[in-house]
Amino acid sequence: MRSISAREFNPSRETDAVQKDELVRLLKGALAQTPHTPKDAATSIPSAVLVIIHYHGGAPHVFLTKRSEGLKSHRGEVSFPGGRHAEGDATLLDTALRETQEEIGIAFSREDVAGSLQAARTMTSNHYIVPFVTVQDMLPRYRVSSDEVAEVLDAPLIETLRTLEPDTEHFHLSKNAYRFAYRGNVIWGATARILGQLYDLLIRPS
């Protein structure tokens, strides 16, 4: 995503009710079947998340979690279900699926995953995160792990993407920082970088 300023930010105003077939079509060209990894992957900590887009009320929603304050890193931050690659994970997709099941109790399969977006770097730790994407007609029943998840934020996708603005609070970490917001929660860092890719695909005029 290119650098933006508050002055130039002017998202298009398409309806929030993007139909599933159209959303999948817009995402299709950007989703890779083989995950992208950064050039410095060998010296970084690999992680993976699952971007769960689902429908209710006729509009797409994105499933986010607020991390528990008891976690060692990124406590209290808004993120996608996922986490650090473990020795027992054959691939980063296995990491995303395992961590999603551990955090929110949903056992997605490989067949549920449409592909992956570009890897995103964290701003305060040496991690890169591969975001895998699934698009569902409806969200399966979930059950959160209270040790890892403090709160579920099931956010309307298009409405949330339209909240994008420069993240001046973290310009000392990156001059290209931006953030999103949902119900008083600020979404920044790697999660914002992943949402930024969805913004480019679904909101930003070509």
Token pair recorded at residue 165:
């603005």
Classify residue 66 as exposed, middle or buried by CB count within 10 Å of its CB (0-12, 13-18, 19+). middle
Cα separation, 8 vs 120, in Å, equals 24
Per-residue pLDDT tens digits of the chain, which is 206 residues long:
544 443 334 444 445 778 999 999 999 999 999 998 888 888 899 999 999 999 998 999 999 998 775 555 555 689 999 999 999 999 999 999 999 999 999 999 999 999 999 999 887 788 899 999 999 999 989 998 878 788 899 999 999 999 999 998 878 777 788 999 999 999 999 999 999 999 999 997 54
pTM of the predicted structure, to 2 decimals: 0.88
Q: Which amino acid is at 84?
A: R
Q: Which helix (H) or strand (E) holds 155?
A: strand 149-156
